[in-house]
């Protein structure tokens, strides 16, 4: 079925009062809503709520961990954009301000803390895996931030932007998840101090 025919079918369905069939983005949206309510993301439950088969849900999402990663990556992107829009300064000061604001938003998110506390090892596997969407997108956003400041002539780095972005993200992770990784107290100001040293 072509896109035009599919669009026409959806339009006719709406005119007849019949909602269009669920799509993969609907699954992601529903999973995101559940996550933000502090609820567990389970493909079987999501499939039942959308009225699709489990096989379809697994085909669209892969598995619950990957779907959770997509949800968290989308939330991380929104959080990063918010922090960037609020940040002040230029060069290293701006980069640190963006990251510090983002860390505070994550640390104070009830939904995110519920996700981490429910199953810390699984949560860390989802957010910190090099093959998962969360870390890949997070590193890319930090790389874009660094590159923008370099282009403005406001920042000089001792390494390439990708390497620095990777290092910054790993430092942030080690402090944000300190309680889950090593039973340490969450001390974000120490993370900020280290970020400043890395970028000065």
Q: What pLDDT does 13 receive? A: 52
Query: Are residue 28 and residue 69 in the same domain, yes or no?
Result: no
Last residue of a domain, one of 14, 30, 61: 61
Give the sign of the dihedral formed by CA 177, CA 181, CA 182, CA 183: positive
Residue whose tokens read 């007849």: 16
The parts of the chain modelled with pLDDT lower than 70 are 1-17, 182-184
Coil, helix or strand at residue 88: coil
Q: What pLDDT does 1 receive? A: 43
Query: Are residue 14 and residue 102 in the same domain, yes or no?
Result: no
Q: What pLDDT does 131 receive? A: 83
Strands (E), the chain: none
Q: What pLDDT does 2 receive? A: 47
Q: What pLDDT does 102 receive? A: 97
Structural domain total, the chain: 2
Q: What pLDDT does 127 receive? A: 92
pLDDT tens for residues 85-121? Answer: 999 999 999 999 999 999 999 999 999 989 988 898 9
Query: Running DSSP on this structure, what letter comes out for residue 131?
Result: T
Q: What pLDDT does 14 receive? A: 54
Query: Are residue 114 and residue 35 in the same domain, yes or no?
Result: no
């Amino acid at each position: 079925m072509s896109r035009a025919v599919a669009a026409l079918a959806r339009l006719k369905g709406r005119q007849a009062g019949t909602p269009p069939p669920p799509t993969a983005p609907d699954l992601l949206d529903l999973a995101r809503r559940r996550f933000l309510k502090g609820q567990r993301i389970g493909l079987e439950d999501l499939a039942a709520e959308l009225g699709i088969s489990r096989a379809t849900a697994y085909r669209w999402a892969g598995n619950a961990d990957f779907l959770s990663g997509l949800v968290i990556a989308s939330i991380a992107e929104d959080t990063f954009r918010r922090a960037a829009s609020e940040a002040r300064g230029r060069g290293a000061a701006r980069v640190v301000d963006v990251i510090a604001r983002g860390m505070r938003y994550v640390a104070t998110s009830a939904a995110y803390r519920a996700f981490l506390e429910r199953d810390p090892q699984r949560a860390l596997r989802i957010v910190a895996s090099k093959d998962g969407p969360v870390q890949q997108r997070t590193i890319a956003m930090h790389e874009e931030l660094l590159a923008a400041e370099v282009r403005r002539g406001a920042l000089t780095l001792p390494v390439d932007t990708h390497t620095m972005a990777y290092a910054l993200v790993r430092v942030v992770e080690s402090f944000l998840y300190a309680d889950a990784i090593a039973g340490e107290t969450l001390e974000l100001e120490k993370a900020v101090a280290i970020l400043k040293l890395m970028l000065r």
